[in-house]
Chains A and B, each alone.
Chain A
Amino acid sequence: MASEYHSSGEYIKHHLQNLTYGQHPDGTWGIAHSAEEAVAMGFWAINVDSMLVSIALGVLFLFLFRLAAKKATVGVPTGLQNFVEWIVEFIDSSVRGSFSHRNALVAPLAMTVFVWVFLMNMMDLIPVDWLPYLASLAGVPYLKVVPTTDPNVTFGLSLSIFALVLYYSVKMKGAGGFFSELAFQPFPKWMFPLNLILEGVGLLAKPISLSLRLFGNMYAGEMIFILIALMFGGGWVLAAFGGVLQWAWAVFHILIITLQAFIFMTLTIVYLDMAHAEHH
């Protein structure tokens, strides 16, 4: 499919272009046709592909799990219920292992994070050209199918979690307690400006590292898939080699997408646990 493009650079750029809908600087509304145009739209533009794919996956996840939850019986579980129970027990044991307080929010939150992020990552395993090609047949010029390669998505998750961390920090320790945790340690109290800088950076690093880790891993993985896909345009020997590489990378990627979803969930639990913990 790379042959449709004038250069490999163009092919890569096209694959990394979100379907961004917003207001052009000249006042008209429409789709951005390059990264520069997307930037020029400012903040009030929306990546339609990221939103649609992530919402579709989230709805799929909640639909299946709700189906299992509605039919959940105490007797011998079958099929879907068995699968959902397996995941729920896995999440529950993870939460019990890392979260030592009582909060009914944390386990469902962790489950949503894990399953949703996993499904969004899993879009990476679909060969890079399939969905964009289908979309182009339907008249949609750009489609980035892996939502987690869009920093808006990963930051949307991590900032929501960060808001929860701040909320529970203040709720559990009080505003004063939270402030003293930031200002009066690790160094003695009189060095509080230094403490505040250190702890403040540590605090802010949580959501940034959380989302950048996921984004970076998925973006790099997607990039390699795109580079491998470029080989399909270079004669049948290169194409066959590309096929082998794509298969190998996809197999390896099964590990990465699961691991990244798990890390994201575990860190979410750990950050919330730290927010609940009284500092001594």
Chain B
Amino acid sequence: MNFNATLIGQSVTFIFFVWFSMKFVWPPIMNALETRKKQIADGLAAGDRGKHELELAAKKAADTLRDAKAQAAEVIAQADKRSAQIIEEAKMAAKEEGERQLAAAQANIGQEMNRARESLREQVAALAVAGAEKILRREVNAQTHADLLGQLKAEL
């Protein structure tokens, strides 16, 4: 083992290399590593957050769907009810109309009947009076017995 100035030369070289490493090599690489580590952590956190948000959105979508279904069912029920009501109303109206027309027809028939009865009565009265006139031609004065004839007519 022979020591000489190489010892000093090596120490100086070593110190220079360490200084260089410390100044120009270590910090940029460490910085890149730290930044990447942070980015990855952030990315994972964002992923978790996204997943959470997705779950919330899915839940919200399910809620909305359920609401919509309920609403649709309600609308359908209402429509059913309304259509039943309309049908009911139409039935009622038809029935009323039928009854009304029936009543009108009956009233018409009654009137006709009355009219026929009236004319029949007059004809019968006239016939009876004509018969009676024929029987009582000479003794019965039409003017004298007009009251009596009118009374008879009313009774018939």
Using a CB–CB cutoff of 8 Å, the interface residues on chain A facing chain B are: 18, 20, 22, 35, 38-39, 41-47, 50-51, 54-55, 58, 61-62, 65-66, 68-70, 72-75, 77, 81, 84-85, 88-89, 92, 104-105, 107-109, 111-112, 116, 150-153, 155-157, 159-160
Contact = CB atoms under 8 A, between A and B. Distances in A.
A18 B32 CA distance: 42
Given A51-B6, A69-B24, A152-B3, A88 B13 contact: no
B18 interface: yes
B7 A107 contact: no
B26 A108 contact: yes
Contacts of A111: 21, 25-26
B28 A156 contact: no
A85 B2 CA distance: 39
Given A62-B17, A156-B10, A84 B22 contact: no
Contact of A72 (B3, B4, B14, B29): B29
Given A74-B39, A112-B21, A156 B31 contact: no
Nearest to A84: B29
Given A69-B29, A85-B29, A152-B7, 19 more contacts: A38-B4, A46-B5, A47-B6, A51-B9, A54-B13, A58-B13, A62-B25, A65-B21, A66-B20, A68-B29, A70-B28, A72-B28, A105-B22, A111-B25, A116-B17, A153-B6, A153-B10, A157-B11, A160-B11
Nearest to A70: B28
Contacts of A62: 17, 20-21, 24-25
Contacts of A43: 3-5
Contacts of B14: 112, 116, 156-157, 160
Nearest to A151: B1
Nearest to B36: A74
B30 interface: yes
B28 A55 contact: no
9 contacts: A18-B2, A38-B4, A51-B6, A51-B10, A58-B17, A61-B17, A65-B29, A70-B28, A151-B3
B28 to A, nearest CB: 4
A18 B6 CA distance: 11
B29 to A, nearest CB: 5
Interface in B104-137: none
Contact of B13 (A44, A51, A65): A51
B73 interface: no
B9 A156 contact: yes
Interface string B32-51: 11011001000000000000
Given A38-B2, A111-B26, A112-B18, A54 B32 contact: no
